Amino acid sequence: MEMTASSLTISPRKLRSDLYSYSYQNDAKTPLVMSVLASLIERTMARNERIAKNCKWALAKDCNSRVFECQETPDMTIQSYLERIFRYTKAGPSVYVVAYVYMDRFRQANPGFRINARNVHRLLITIIMVASKYVEDMNYRNSYFARVGGLTTKELNKLEVEFLFMMGFKLHVNVTVFESYCSHLEREVSIGGGYHIERTLRCAEDIKSKQVEQKRYNSIARILFFEVGASTEE
């Protein structure tokens, strides 16, 4: 019997340890945040199924969102699918937190969309790939992500474009937003105790350093502009 994400017992001590000791090496263990995310998605899908049975009007009517639907429902669980993506891409915990941010924004931008067993896998591989491009310095090609997700490159390219337009290209995630979603994921597991998922300070610091670097670049550009202007006047 395969264990679902919702039945996993997560050690608070291990979760807290991952906050500071997560390794990005090739032999790194599966990030604990994935189990929390998988459980959250499973509960959302179960709720959507109940709503769909009772309210036919609640079904997605947006034709664009149907691009994520599979002809046949995949037999791989959310937890197993996320583990497969991690095993072959080694995307760090921060990628999955940002992916969760994107999933929430996608839902808000497309209120008629309902995550279900037929669209969740294609949506996840698309979101995680886009999040990886935003967070990570080094990334695999779309063709590689497609093989990992069980799609053709053409299919994944189309899904990426559709996702970006349906999101309105709102991909920026600042440190405050990142931390707030970490806190939300922590609350999801805090019902059973004072758990903490890994906050992946590396991601927060990377985002902050990029913002500082951009400000520094703008300052240098302004200085050079004035220097060039002054030399021209002379």
CA dist 50 and 47 (Å) reads 5
Global pTM?
A: 0.73
On whether the CB atoms of residues 6 and 33 are closer than 8 A, the answer is no
On whether the CB atoms of residues 93 and 200 are closer than 8 A, the answer is yes
Domains of the chain: 11-200 (1.10.472.10)
Per-residue pLDDT of the chain (234 residues; tens, 9 = 90+): 333 444 444 444 444 444 334 555 555 677 788 888 998 899 889 888 887 776 655 554 555 668 898 888 888 999 999 999 999 998 888 899 999 999 999 999 998 888 999 999 999 999 999 999 998 878 899 999 999 999 999 999 999 999 999 999 999 999 899 888 888 887 777 654 444 555 544 455 555 555 555 555 555 555 555 554 555 455
Tokens 């999933």 found at: 103
